[in-house]
């Protein structure tokens, strides 16, 4: 029984009331988000809601970050827009139901890729994402969450901005919701402030029959969120190499986007809760969830930072809140759809506005004069790419590449050489800084093969040979001396550097001087 309890984090102290109430709050917030993301790709609301249920439940039970919420997301939905365009070009006249079959297959294949990534333990590479990129990702996501609420201030029929009383009512209830979320925790934490705000505003609107935009108004004519248990669906598509190659690129993108967004969200929640999640376990859980989602009529997805922050800020820390959110969402679909469709969008918009405000890393604005210019540029660029393209994976990858290039450039300028000739007439070059592709030119410029004595020693006590470019640089320098009949010795190379040179001994032919008394820190790690 202990293993079962560990699965649900019940072996530790859990505040059941907080977990249940937080889960219900998240379930309410998931409804409009799942519907909106499904509509981005032109799917029915139930496709997004079923994905939110299956993704949320499985990652809550199996995931590497208790308290994190997964579901249908805009980042994944955008990928399907491209898939649909490709399908219509390859198969003119293809219908919506046929397209969904390809979507389900794409989601299942994406899940397999994510599981393989987790099994190979590649999730740890999320640690390579620098802090400026994290700031940019979070700030961009906050802007997306904030601007995603703007369509609710427009009339559905005419697509025009709400006017007069309708706008004042909408703004008033949004403000009231935000005020409750801000002020209630100062009085009591017995109930999550987001849930209290939704219930109070909904009670006022429904009780006094106030006319304002509701969840039902966000649906297309004839659509509803009412449904049953997600139906089992085996994708009805031709299983051949051509179809596999058609969906593979989109599956890879879905898998990549999902893992990046999920693992970055995991890191952010780790910082908030001062705990440590398990990235590889989360990859496997996300993959499993996507596979189940594909077989149960869902559009797949990944972690949702906004809903996760609602959950965490409400006090949830265990898996129970995610389970309650998913089961609660399914109950809304099966039994409470009529009531959920009456919820005022103003309450849900107010909740998401507060999530956006809480998500934005305001402290990052204070670092503009304190951080290096390259870090500020990366942070701003990632924010803008995230906000305007909604392509979180591309934004993060660009940020990581730019940060790596900036780091390489700075280290390339740090190569130094202190020179002296000892009593035996041997010239010493004491190298400082890493020798790698960025610093090889500066390294080569330090040597004077024409005027140096017949024997020189290159001392790497304060440096290290890092890559093939460094080996080639050594090869070039030694050849310059060899042409003049002079000898080069390499001293104080760490074990990994000597191993690198031995593996490339056909390229570099030098006398490596061993120094048994010399040890470097990297040898101990």
Do residues 271 and 159 share a domain? yes
Do residues 385 and 425 share a domain? no
- Token readout for 302 is 């990944």
Residue whose entry in the numeric block shows the structure tokens 């050594």: 474
Do residues 174 and 261 share a domain? yes
Task: Give residue 29's pLDDT.
Answer: 86
Asked if 91 contacts 243 with a C-beta cutoff of 8 angstroms, the reply is no
- Band (pLDDT 50/70/90 cuts) for residue 4 is very low
Asked whether residue 110 is domain-assigned, the answer is yes
Asked whether residue 192 is domain-assigned, the answer is yes
The tens digit of pLDDT for each residue in 248-278 reads 999 998 998 899 889 989 988 998 888 889 9
Do residues 301 and 347 share a domain? yes
Number of Cβ within 10 Å of residue 453's Cβ equals: 12
Highest-pLDDT range among 27-41, 211-225, 450-464: 450-464
Do residues 285 and 362 share a domain? yes
User: What is the sign, positive or negative, of the torsion defined by CA atoms of 378, 379, 380, 383?
Assistant: positive
- Token readout for 84 is 């649909």
Distance from C-alpha of 463 to C-alpha of 447, rounded to nearest angstrom = 16
Domain end call among 353, 368, 399: 399
- Band (pLDDT 50/70/90 cuts) for residue 511 is low
- What angle, 0 to 180 degrees and rounded to 10, lies between the N-to-C axes of helices 279-295 and 241-273? 130
Q: Looking at the 3D structure of the chain, how many domains does it have?
A: 2
Residues 301-319: what's their mean pLDDT?
Answer: 91
| Cα atoms found within 13 Å of the Cα of residue 515, Cβ hemisphere only | 14
**Residue 10: is its pLDDT beyond 50?**
no
Asked if 323 contacts 69 with a C-beta cutoff of 8 angstroms, the reply is no
Residues 108-118: what's their mean pLDDT?
Answer: 96
For residue 458, what is the domain's CATH number? 3.30.750.24
Distance from C-alpha of 435 to C-alpha of 415, rounded to nearest angstrom = 7
The tens digit of pLDDT for each residue in 41-73 reads 888 899 999 999 999 999 999 999 999 999 998
Residue 116: which residues within 8 A CB-CB, separation 6 or more?
A: 287
Task: Give residue 332's pLDDT.
Answer: 93
Beta-strand pair 455-462/427-432 = parallel
Asked if 43 contacts 210 with a C-beta cutoff of 8 angstroms, the reply is no
The tens digit of pLDDT for each residue in 336-393 reads 998 889 989 999 899 889 888 888 888 888 878 788 888 999 999 999 998 887 777 7
Asked whether residue 377 is domain-assigned, the answer is yes
Do residues 375 and 485 share a domain? no
Task: Give residue 12's pLDDT.
Answer: 54
Do residues 422 and 351 share a domain? no
Asked whether residue 441 is domain-assigned, the answer is yes
Do residues 388 and 419 share a domain? no
**Residue 98: is its pLDDT beyond 70?**
yes
Domain end call among 399, 425, 455: 399
Asked if 120 contacts 283 with a C-beta cutoff of 8 angstroms, the reply is no
Distance from C-alpha of 474 to C-alpha of 460, rounded to nearest angstrom = 12
Task: Give residue 115's pLDDT.
Answer: 97
513 DSSP β-pair partners: 491
Distance from C-alpha of 344 to C-alpha of 201, rounded to nearest angstrom = 8
Do residues 363 and 497 share a domain? no
Task: Give residue 474's pLDDT.
Answer: 85
Distance from C-alpha of 90 to C-alpha of 74, rounded to nearest angstrom = 25
Pick from 386, 396, 394, 395: nearest CA to 143: 386
Do residues 394 and 433 share a domain? no
Asked whether residue 116 is domain-assigned, the answer is yes
Distance from C-alpha of 213 to C-alpha of 200, rounded to nearest angstrom = 16
Domain containing residue 213:
47-399
- Band (pLDDT 50/70/90 cuts) for residue 301 is very high
Asked whether residue 40 is domain-assigned, the answer is no
Lowest mean pLDDT among 99-108, 224-233, 397-406, 501-510: 501-510
Asked whether residue 33 is domain-assigned, the answer is no
Do residues 417 and 387 share a domain? no
User: What is the sign, positive or negative, of the torsion defined by CA atoms of 138, 15, 7, 26?
Assistant: negative
Distance from C-alpha of 508 to C-alpha of 514, rounded to nearest angstrom = 16
Do residues 329 and 437 share a domain? no
**Residue 286: is its pLDDT beyond 70?**
yes
Asked whether residue 113 is domain-assigned, the answer is yes
Mean pLDDT of the chain: 86
Residue 469: which residues within 8 A CB-CB, separation 6 or more?
A: 436, 437, 440
**Which has more confidence, 413 or 316?**
316
Task: Give residue 505's pLDDT.
Answer: 54
Domain end call among 342, 372, 399: 399
Task: Give residue 204's pLDDT.
Answer: 95
């Amino acid at each position: 029984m202990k293993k079962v309890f560990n699965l649900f984090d019940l072996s530790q102290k859990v505040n059941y009331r907080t977990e249940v109430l937080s889960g219900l709050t998240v379930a309410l917030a998931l409804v409009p988000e799942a519907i909106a993301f499904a509509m981005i790709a032109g799917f029915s609301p139930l496709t997004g809601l079923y994905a939110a249920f299956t993704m949320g439940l499985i990652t809550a039970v199996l995931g590497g970050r208790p308290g994190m919420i997964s579901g249908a997301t805009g980042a994944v939905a955008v990928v399907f827009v491209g898939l649909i365009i490709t399908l219509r070009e390859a198969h003119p006249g293809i219908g919506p139901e046929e397209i969904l079959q390809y979507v389900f297959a794409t989601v299942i294949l994406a899940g397999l890729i994510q599981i393989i990534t987790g099994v190979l333990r590649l999730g740890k590479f999320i640690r390579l994402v620098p802090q400026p990129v994290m700031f940019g990702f979070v700030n961009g996501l906050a802007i997306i969450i904030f601007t995603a609420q703007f369509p609710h201030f427009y009339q559905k029929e005419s697509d025009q901005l709400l006017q007069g009383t309708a706008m004042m009512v909408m703004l008033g209830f949004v403000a009231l919701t935000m005020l409750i979320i801000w002020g209630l925790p100062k009085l009591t934490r017995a109930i999550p402030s987001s849930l209290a705000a939704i219930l109070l505003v909904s009670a006022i609107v429904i009780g006094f029959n106030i006319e304002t935009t509701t969840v039902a108004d966000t649906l297309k004519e004839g659509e509803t969120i009412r449904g049953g248990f997600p139906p089992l669906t085996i994708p009805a598509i031709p299983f051949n190499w051509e179809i596999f190659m058609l969906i593979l690129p989109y599956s890879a993108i879905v898998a990549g986007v999902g893992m990046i967004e999920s693992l970055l969200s995991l890191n952010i929640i780790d910082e908030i809760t001062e705990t440590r999640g398990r990235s590889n376990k989360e990859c496997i859980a996300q993959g499993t969830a996507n596979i189940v989602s594909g077989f149960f009529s869902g559009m797949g997805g990944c972690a949702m930072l906004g809903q996760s922050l609602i959950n965490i800020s409400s006090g949830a820390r265990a898996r129970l809140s995610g389970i309650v959110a998913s089961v609660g969402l399914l109950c809304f679909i099966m039994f409470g759809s009529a009531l959920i469709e009456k919820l005022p969008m103003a309450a849900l918009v107010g909740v998401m506005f507060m999530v956006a405000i809480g998500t934005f890393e305001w402290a990052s604005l204070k670092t503009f004069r304190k951080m290096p210019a390259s870090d500020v540029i990366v942070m701003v660029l990632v924010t803008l790419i995230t906000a305007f393209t909604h392509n979180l994976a591309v934004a993060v990858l660009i940020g990581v590449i730019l940060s790596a290039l900036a780091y390489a450039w700075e280290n390339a300028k740090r190569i130094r050489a202190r020179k002296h000739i000892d009593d035996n007439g041997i010239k010493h070059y004491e190298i400082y800084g890493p020798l790698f592709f960025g610093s090889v030119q500066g390294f080569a410029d330090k040597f004077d093969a024409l005027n140096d004595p017949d024997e020189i020693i290159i001392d790497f006590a304060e440096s290290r040979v890092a890559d093939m470019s460094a080996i080639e640089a050594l090869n070039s320098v030694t050849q310059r001396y060899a042409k003049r009949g002079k000898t080069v010795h390499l001293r104080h190379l760490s074990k990994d550097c000597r191993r690198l040179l031995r593996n490339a001994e056909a390229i570099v032919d030098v006398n490596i001087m061993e120094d048994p008394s010399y040890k470097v820190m990297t040898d101990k790690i």
